[in-house]
Chain A
């Protein structure tokens, strides 16, 4: 018994140690620094309490980032899941070459967000624009990335392209775990395909939806790399009377604050992001869990 415990502890030690040192300890340090005026270097650290938090919600750029991050997340949760669920239905049907399609849809996920941002930036700024010019399609003549009202949608398209292949795999696995007999029985009873999908498939794979919604929610909320390379926060727009960056999501707002040597303020923003993320994710999981069916 004692021996077994020792083995357990030994095996757990590396991960627990890493988790403590890389996640838990810095988290509490971060909480502390968010209540100071530290600039990242100076040895003089003064405690200022909740001063940073108090002014955050009167700063137009931060409020704007918060709002568009919620918008971006909402768009993505819908778009990514619809697309990936549709893809999973396609690649589990009796399609020729379906393994090829599975691999193909998954490939974008393997490209890193940085590279992918640059690729799509080139597509949006050069390819689409010159296509629009040569074919006189007015809507394409100015880049989608240079229009404040369309830039979030352009980012969502890229995000969908990147993540739907990954979520497709989760859905495929879930579809395959449903006993074929259920679908066959329904078919024999005369249920049409759409009916079978909505009344058997979707309720049976509710746990896959829980995971997928959670993943899209958190990844969109924390989106940084693609945001950084695709739009760099641009173009500018007006919000609460001040010029702000139209596509600067929360994570990038934090980054820009930190690179301006306002470490403590950036840390306070990061804490807000953390709290918002936890609240939203908990609500989502709680709601989804209620819909799950036990086999």
Chain B
């Protein structure tokens, strides 16, 4: 028995030596060169960001920025938790809204003193204090194929009310064979296709913010208290019904992102319910027709704005000894020519900073940028909802409405019950 004990002790000692050794290494590194780690989830900008981080490291003596990317539907939140548990928390990480903020608030540094803050409207704010660096502007309306609309004799500028849409959809439906389209709209709402976010997040954002001031959160604040504005919701529900009725039913009920975007790119549908993030897909699919954005006008009172938001924010780990270097990296991204060139030219994103003058190349991104310059757009507030509300609560309701499109009352009742349940989530 003694032998066993001594053996166990030996094993433990060896393990301790190894563990100690590792920590020693880290300490040594901190003395000389500082390595700032960044953990992000946008796969599409991985190469551009890696290149920019390398360039920044080269130009900034003593600081190396390392970027780790996890995305493509992988569980970013889970991976972050694993890192936090392992004591390997990155210096810069991503949150996607209030849900993420609430989980990570012990780690999120205040960014009130950062120079880039006054150059943007989209920083992540809580109680008037800034906590997140906006990664980009994204946005959406109802994207249209200008060539098809022209052939059908529809002026996209006239699409500012629900009845204008209804008329346009009817025209398209009647000329389906002539225009060579399957259906007027490419809309997806299925749980099965993983498309709950198009309906339960982006489309529903029209109810939360459509037709209101850019920072007017009154509707969603009321919803978080469990209250629904029923007349407003009824108007909105009729618009959803309209979109569903004239959508390609296979895509609506079962389609994936690729099905939905592909159908629009091939000219099989005239409208697409997606944001400017489809620009790279359009390029990949060799799209040559002209595109633009029409507003999600769900009322009879004309609406002309698009929906603009920052999809995610970079946060600085407040408990890291390298927080200052991390802040400096983000600041350089927003304020230096190299950083801005990375955001716009390399990553193809719309910068959230007003002073940037570069323009992205995608047609839809340009349409959004023009809308941003023109003003009168609507805010997107689904990030204020509790985690899982879109996926687990609203998603199935939209899916069910897509299956039973005539049952408007049931849809309204379901949503009313779901909103009433929000305070308890």
B72-128: which have CB < 8 Å to A? 75, 77-78, 81, 84, 99, 102-104, 106-107
Closest A residue, CB atoms, query B78: A259
* Segment from A183-191, A205-213, A236-244 that makes contact with B: A236-244
> Across the interface, which residues of A come within 8 angstroms of B392, CB to CB?
61, 256-257, 260
Q: How far is the CA of A146 from the CA of B256 in the complex (A)?
A: 12
Q: Residue A249 at the B interface, CB < 8 A?
A: no
* Segment from A34-42, A67-75, A287-295 that makes contact with B: A34-42
> Across the interface, which residues of B come within 8 angstroms of A238, CB to CB?
400
B399–A256 CB distance below 8 A: no
> Across the interface, which residues of B come within 8 angstroms of A10, CB to CB?
7
> Across the interface, which residues of A come within 8 angstroms of B250, CB to CB?
129, 143
Binary contact track A124-148/B, C-beta < 8 Å → 1, others 0 = 0100010000000000001101101
* Segment from A80-88, A100-108, A226-234 that makes contact with B: A226-234
Q: Residue B3 at the A interface, CB < 8 A?
A: yes
Q: Residue B148 at the A interface, CB < 8 A?
A: no
Closest B residue, CB atoms, query A42: B106
B191–A233 CB distance below 8 A: yes
B4–A259 CB distance below 8 A: no
Q: Residue B174 at the A interface, CB < 8 A?
A: no
Count residues on chain A whose CB falls below 8 Å from chain B CBs.
35
Q: A125-B254, A244-B396 are in contact. Are A259 and B77 (CB under 8 A)?
A: yes
Closest B residue, CB atoms, query A17: B11
Q: How far is the CA of A260 from the CA of B281 in the complex (A)?
A: 29
B3–A6 CB distance below 8 A: yes
Q: How far is the CA of A61 from the CA of B190 in the complex (A)?
A: 17
B103–A235 CB distance below 8 A: no
> Across the interface, which residues of A come within 8 angstroms of B4, CB to CB?
6, 9
A259–B75 CB distance below 8 A: yes
Q: A145-B254, A242-B417 are in contact. Are A234 and B399 (CB under 8 A)?
A: yes
Q: Residue A179 at the B interface, CB < 8 A?
A: no
> Across the interface, which residues of B come within 8 angstroms of A245, CB to CB?
191, 395-396
Indicate the member of A9, A43, A61, A235 with the most B CB atoms within 10 Å.
A235
Q: Residue B279 at the A interface, CB < 8 A?
A: no
Closest B residue, CB atoms, query A233: B191
How close is A158's CB to chain B, nearest CB, in angstroms? 14
A260–B391 CB distance below 8 A: yes
> Across the interface, which residues of B come within 8 angstroms of A232, CB to CB?
191-194
Q: Residue A52 at the B interface, CB < 8 A?
A: no
Closest B residue, CB atoms, query A125: B254
> Across the interface, which residues of B come within 8 angstroms of A142, CB to CB?
253
Q: Residue B320 at the A interface, CB < 8 A?
A: no
A42–B399 CB distance below 8 A: no
How close is B91's CB to chain A, nearest CB, in angstroms? 17
A235–B399 CB distance below 8 A: yes
> Across the interface, which residues of B come within 8 angstroms of A222, CB to CB?
none
> Across the interface, which residues of B come within 8 angstroms of A125, CB to CB?
254
B1-15: which have CB < 8 Å to A? 3-4, 7
A234–B78 CB distance below 8 A: no
Q: Residue B397 at the A interface, CB < 8 A?
A: yes
How close is B227's CB to chain A, nearest CB, in angstroms? 19
Q: How far is the CA of A232 from the CA of B193 in the complex (A)?
A: 7
How close is B192's CB to chain A, nearest CB, in angstroms? 3
A236 is contacted by which of B7, B78, B103, B400 (Cβ under 8 Å)? B400
B77–A237 CB distance below 8 A: no
How close is A2's CB to chain B, nearest CB, in angstroms? 8
Q: Residue A262 at the B interface, CB < 8 A?
A: yes
Q: How far is the CA of A242 from the CA of B413 in the complex (A)?
A: 10
A236–B253 CB distance below 8 A: no
Indicate the member of B254, B388, B400, B414 with the most A CB atoms within 10 Å.
B254
Q: Residue A261 at the B interface, CB < 8 A?
A: yes
Q: Residue B346 at the A interface, CB < 8 A?
A: no
Q: Residue B387 at the A interface, CB < 8 A?
A: yes
Indicate the member of B103, B396, B400 with the most A CB atoms within 10 Å.
B396
A262–B399 CB distance below 8 A: no
Q: Residue B403 at the A interface, CB < 8 A?
A: yes
How close is B81's CB to chain A, nearest CB, in angstroms? 5
How close is A10's CB to chain B, nearest CB, in angstroms? 8
> Across the interface, which residues of B come within 8 angstroms of A61, CB to CB?
392
How close is A13's CB to chain B, nearest CB, in angstroms? 8
Q: How far is the CA of A173 from the CA of B203 in the complex (A)?
A: 57
> Across the interface, which residues of A come within 8 angstroms of B387, CB to CB?
260-262
Closest A residue, CB atoms, query B192: A234
5 contacts between A and B (CB under 8 A): A235-B399, A235-B400, A256-B388, A259-B388, A260-B388
Q: Which residues of B contact A (CB under 8 A)?
A: 3-4, 7, 75, 77-78, 81, 84, 99, 102-104, 106-107, 190-194, 250, 253-254, 386-388, 391-392, 395-400, 403, 414, 417
Q: A145-B192, A259-B75 are in contact. List 15 more A-B contacts (CB 8 A).
A: A10-B7, A40-B103, A41-B81, A41-B103, A41-B106, A129-B250, A146-B192, A232-B191, A234-B191, A235-B400, A235-B403, A236-B397, A236-B399, A261-B103, A262-B387
